A and B are shown apart, each in its own frame.
Chain A
Amino acid sequence: MTEYSVIGKSIAMVDAAGKTTGSGKYADDFNLPGMLVGKILHSPYPHALIKHIDTRRARELDGVVAVVTGEDAPNQYGILPVGHDETALAVGKVRYVGDNVACVAAISEAIAEKALELIEVEYEPLPAYFDPEQSVKAEHDLIHENRPNNMEKDYHHIFGDPEKGFAEADYVAEARYIANEVTHAAMEPHCTLASFEIDPQTGKQGRLTVWSSTQVPYYLQHKLSLVLDLPMSQIRVIKPLVGGGFGGKSEIIPLEIIAAVAARAANVPVKITYTREEVFWAHRGRPRTIIDLKTGVKKDGRITAVACKVIQDGGAYCSYGVVTILYSGALLGALYDIPNIRYDGYRVLTNKPACGAMRGHGTVNVRFAFESQMDEIAAKIGLDPAALRLVNLLKPPAITVNGLRVLSYGLPQCIDQVITRSGWNGRRGKLPKGRGLGMACSHYVSGAANSIIRSEMPHSTVNIKIDRDGGVVVYTGAAEIGQGSDTMTAQIAAEVLGCSLSRVKVIAADTDLTPIDLGAYSSRVTFMAGNATLRAAEAVKKDIISAAAQRIGCLAEEVVMSGDRVWKRGAEPGEPESAVARGHVDGQILRGSVLQSRKEESPKTHLSFEEAVVAAIDLHGGLTGTGSYAPPMEARGGQHKGAGVGPSPAYSYSAQVAEVSVDEETGVVTVHKIWAAHDCGRALNPVAVEGQVIGSVWMGLGQALQEEMIWKDGLMMNPGLLEYRSPSSVESPEIECIIVESIDPEGPFGAKEAGEGSLAATIPAISNAIYDAVGIRLREVPFSPERVLAALRAKKGLKRIAMTQGVDPTGPTTFREQGGALWYRGKGPERHAEDPARVGGGR
């Protein structure tokens, strides 16, 4: 086995010290001279025409520099080329409570807020749609005029022969599953600082620089260019530290565009930072999903066919919606061997904040349904849930029925590991009453094989520059968002070049300096930017080796680079200590190899890293290298409509066992432990992989038990970190991460995805454990005490407790009774006469 010096070692993130000391800078930590504060006016209506906006009084307020509205930047944009349906600020119409209407740039936050109160907007309310199954019946007052029946997109796929498959089945399970809406709730609220420079030639407003909390700097540059009518070359996007994304910063969030529009109008830098409540309105999280799932199996458990109908409540704009609904269908494949699939996916528009990509994009809710149904089938046909999964494994290398290529496949080892570690065989079904074990599996892409904007462009490009000081500078567009992107890049460069990690400096995600990388989403960074880094480092290494070979007097193939030294294979790596190891320089590097060789008559047998670098620069006139990565054609999927989403160069695999107990009196579910085995190809930095896996499992746990966005007439009832109950340390169980290394043939050093794939298995693992504990099958997420208790009582034939008996049915239903600032300020939504929410007995 190859022995690596940096790869596979647990190391602290290269930016860890900045984070623990508070010296690391996030977007909101930046200030510019003369900078203004931007504040956004949001719609209090879920669906309304804007008849008139009067900003005069706001403009006249002392301290206000600019007020902008939709008319100031009417160009449409959207993250997907098929979904350009957003504008910086609303033009003619608002589509959800919280939609962006106007922005004030003022010298202080207090003045900006006061100015917002002075803006007069005349709305004409329209009927609003909140339930996707109702929304599709709409024939008038559509959310977007070019989307009949409020249908954003529907897909109907048939792979193999599902009808024949079901006919051959010995048992068919069928049920409806519902997963409610959740959001990222990253700790850092979105923030954008935008600043224009004056062009020295024209004397007018010129280049734009934007510091923004984004996972996708290049997409932001592209969309700013569209909206502002400014060439991309005139826009510089800088991504500072990002305080968590989870998909919530993987597309253009309104404030990113609005800040630039306001800065253009104000002629001075403008910074907008969302309040926590605004973060919830900006949303782009995981949609409420209704899944009608049917699975047919033979007596031995072999799956013969799957039929799946998915309805997603997409909110008011397309966002990533078309991709989400495709992922939900496409990733039915590539986990198990399913010969026949029927998929019907509906992405529906409603008058709520847009849903988008969230960790495990599109796969999580369908996986919950699928893995729950597997458990139901196992119970029905009398097979152990683990055994049922093992009879349905793929046999890689394989192309699935829907065109996904699978090479490395660590799922069997993952299942094996969690069975052993959790004591599955001896303990399942034998735990005391109220306590149980449940199993589930999941998988995820290592980046999408086809980019959002179809082109021949590489998905990632990396430049490396080494100068005479022996410092290795890696320029990568990949976006560090806390997942370890920069550390991974440094590790790969150091490993290939055989130098110490401290030599490597990563310059990342600055569109002026770094070559294009598509960004941090769909778990693509390690695989794609990692491969690009590997190739760039190899290109530089080639130049160093050819020069070193001359100096040593051997063949290039004989040169070894490792541990900051360069030597001829077979010889002793010996003496020359590098400056990094020595801790000081002796001036030799600037004098160059000519003097060095004059000083020492005979050729050297070994060189320090610096000596080799200097020799290479003297020989080649410079030392730079470029590497890029594009997924191979074989991994890009089939030809059917929508085939572009789902294919990936590699898939990660995960198997989990959850141990839970259920309090039958209160319905409270306690998770005691989760064993999570994850196949990440090769763990480049095991402590970081464990962090990603544990974090994913934990986030799944939050969705399984307590996280839920609660809506009333399009108004979010729990827009705060206290009310959107993200698990605290006391609710977070021990999670044992087991790393499985399948060594992918195409991944950098065999690595693949680690940051998302584990999330999807956690929800069904908990659901299946609840079934094992108390025999109830929960088909709606989250498994809140109310739902658990209702199911327990139904099982015993008892009447459901009416939790809200005697409560005013039109009243708010959650703790934050005013439902956020909009309601609190007396601007609560008034309803149109034909509003469906009103027909149901509302106000």
Chain B
Amino acid sequence: MKKELIELRVNSRTHELAVQPDALLLDVLRQELGLTGSKRACDDSSCGACTLQVDGVPMLACTMLAASYQGCEITTVEGIADQGGLAALQKAYGAFGGSQCGYCTPGFMMTVRGLLTSNPDPTEEEIRGALSSNLCRCTGYSQMYQAIRAVIEAEKKSQEPAMAGGQHD
């Protein structure tokens, strides 16, 4: 199989790459671009460790063909830090023990980020539902909920003054 030239936009940067038509997005990110944050763990899209966002939607890179995602905005875990510092979710995962061995953590970051973008104030049920796409073998998920809750609460607090100011319309 001959390689073909494709353009991938990853974390707001465009890369021109020569890849096999059957190359998986996960392999291209990890091997061609050195973005090893997305992990391979199950091979068959059952664990979520390779979760990234395509145009804001969480997807599983281990079963996606790289060549099919030209013209999309791909965001990996390397692209979510807050101007060189930890994003609130990353900080909270550390503080509350949401990450132990850390192998599943990048996938969870992307899944939770996707959840909070589409639903900034999810119920406990909705959080559990969203997280069920990813497997973790260390934490039993409990401390992840605490971390996610803390992020949501902090976000709500920071919104309060703005909301109070905009109440009259």
Question: Do the two chains belong together in a single complex?
Answer: yes
Is A695 an interface residue, CB under 8 A from the partner? yes
Is B128 an interface residue, CB under 8 A from the partner? yes
Is A246 an interface residue, CB under 8 A from the partner? yes
- CB neighbours of B97 from chain A (8 A): 13, 687-688, 690-691
Is A475 an interface residue, CB under 8 A from the partner? no
For B105, give the chain A residue with the smallest CB separation. Answer: A19
- CB neighbours of B89 from chain A (8 A): 20
**A:26-50 near B, CB below 8 Å:** 26, 28-29, 31
Of A392-400, A617-625, A709-717, A725-733, the stretch lying at the interface with chain B is A725-733
Q: Which of the four size classes fits the interface of chain B?
A: 35 or more
- Could you tell me the distance in whole angstroms from the C-beta of A775 to the nearest C-beta in chain B? 29
Is B140 an interface residue, CB under 8 A from the partner? yes
A721 contacts B86, C-beta separation under 8 Å: no
Out of B78, B132, B137, which one reaches A187, CB within 8 Å? B137
B137 contacts A185, C-beta separation under 8 Å: yes
Out of B40, B93, B132, which one reaches A16, CB within 8 Å? B93
Of A236-244, A260-268, A490-498, A560-568, the stretch lying at the interface with chain B is A236-244
- CB neighbours of B90 from chain A (8 A): 17, 20-21
- CB neighbours of A12 from chain B (8 A): 94-95
B105 contacts A691, C-beta separation under 8 Å: no
A20 contacts B86, C-beta separation under 8 Å: yes
- Contact bitstring B97-127, A, C-beta under 8 A = 1, else 0: 1011111111001000000000000000001
How far is A695 from B134 in the complex, measured between Cα atoms in Å?
A: 16
Is A515 an interface residue, CB under 8 A from the partner? no
B138 contacts A244, C-beta separation under 8 Å: yes
- Could you tell me the distance in whole angstroms from the C-beta of B11 to the nearest C-beta in chain A? 11
Is B69 an interface residue, CB under 8 A from the partner? no
- CB neighbours of B68 from chain A (8 A): none
**Pair count A-B, CB < 8 A:** 177
Out of A20, A245, A735, which one reaches B93, CB within 8 Å? A20
**B:19-59 near A, CB below 8 Å:** 30-31, 35-44, 46-47, 49
How far is A722 from B142 in the complex, measured between Cα atoms in Å?
A: 21
Is B154 an interface residue, CB under 8 A from the partner? no
B109 contacts A20, C-beta separation under 8 Å: yes
* Residues A695 and B140 in contact in the complex (CB < 8 Å), given A243-B39, A276-B44: yes
B137 contacts A246, C-beta separation under 8 Å: yes
B141 contacts A19, C-beta separation under 8 Å: no
Is A320 an interface residue, CB under 8 A from the partner? no
How far is A315 from B101 in the complex, measured between Cα atoms in Å?
A: 28
B95 contacts A695, C-beta separation under 8 Å: no
A19 contacts B99, C-beta separation under 8 Å: yes
- Could you tell me the distance in whole angstroms from the C-beta of A90 to the nearest C-beta in chain B? 25
Is A697 an interface residue, CB under 8 A from the partner? yes
Is A401 an interface residue, CB under 8 A from the partner? no
Is A127 an interface residue, CB under 8 A from the partner? no
- CB neighbours of A28 from chain B (8 A): 36, 40
Majority secondary structure, B binding face:
loop
Out of A26, A273, A482, A720, which one reaches B138, CB within 8 Å? A482
- Could you tell me the distance in whole angstroms from the C-beta of A666 to the nearest C-beta in chain B? 20
A729 contacts B141, C-beta separation under 8 Å: yes
Is B135 an interface residue, CB under 8 A from the partner? yes
How far is A694 from B138 in the complex, measured between Cα atoms in Å?
A: 9
A695 contacts B139, C-beta separation under 8 Å: yes
Is B10 an interface residue, CB under 8 A from the partner? no
How far is A481 from B101 in the complex, measured between Cα atoms in Å?
A: 6
For A31, give the chain B residue with the smallest CB separation. Answer: B31
For A189, give the chain B residue with the smallest CB separation. Answer: B41
- CB neighbours of A701 from chain B (8 A): 140
B37 contacts A691, C-beta separation under 8 Å: no
How far is A734 from B144 in the complex, measured between Cα atoms in Å?
A: 12
- CB neighbours of B109 from chain A (8 A): 20, 22
Out of B43, B93, B131, which one reaches A275, CB within 8 Å? B43
For A24, give the chain B residue with the smallest CB separation. Answer: B102
Is A15 an interface residue, CB under 8 A from the partner? yes
- Could you tell me the distance in whole angstroms from the C-beta of A817 to the nearest C-beta in chain B? 15
Is A18 an interface residue, CB under 8 A from the partner? yes
- Contact bitstring A786-800, B, C-beta under 8 A = 1, else 0: 000000000000000
For A727, give the chain B residue with the smallest CB separation. Answer: B140
Is A188 an interface residue, CB under 8 A from the partner? yes
A187 contacts B38, C-beta separation under 8 Å: no
Is B77 an interface residue, CB under 8 A from the partner? yes
- CB neighbours of B76 from chain A (8 A): 22
How far is A19 from B144 in the complex, measured between Cα atoms in Å?
A: 14
Is B5 an interface residue, CB under 8 A from the partner? no
Is B129 an interface residue, CB under 8 A from the partner? yes
How far is A31 from B137 in the complex, measured between Cα atoms in Å?
A: 26
- CB neighbours of B93 from chain A (8 A): 16, 19-20
How far is A13 from B100 in the complex, measured between Cα atoms in Å?
A: 8
A732 contacts B101, C-beta separation under 8 Å: no
- Contact bitstring A185-198, B, C-beta under 8 A = 1, else 0: 11111000000000
List 26 contacting pairs A-B, 8 Å CB cutoff, sorted by A: A13-B97, A16-B102, A19-B99, A20-B86, A20-B91, A20-B105, A21-B37, A21-B86, A22-B36, A22-B78, A22-B106, A23-B37, A26-B103, A186-B137, A244-B100, A244-B101, A244-B103, A276-B42, A276-B43, A482-B101, A698-B140, A721-B41, A729-B127, A729-B129, A729-B132, A729-B134
Q: A189-B40, A241-B101 are in contact. List 6 more A-B contacts (CB 8 A).
A: A20-B99, A21-B86, A187-B103, A691-B138, A695-B100, A729-B128
The 6 closest A-B pairs by CB, nearest first: A22-B37, A482-B101, A19-B102, A698-B140, A243-B103, A16-B94
* Residues in chain B within 8 A of chain A (CB atoms): 30-31, 35-44, 46-47, 49, 76-78, 81, 86, 89-91, 93-97, 99-106, 109, 127-129, 131-132, 134-144
* Residues in chain A within 8 A of chain B (CB atoms): 12-13, 15-26, 28-29, 31, 184-189, 241-246, 273, 275-277, 481-484, 687-688, 690-691, 694-695, 697-699, 701, 720-722, 726, 728-730, 732, 734-735
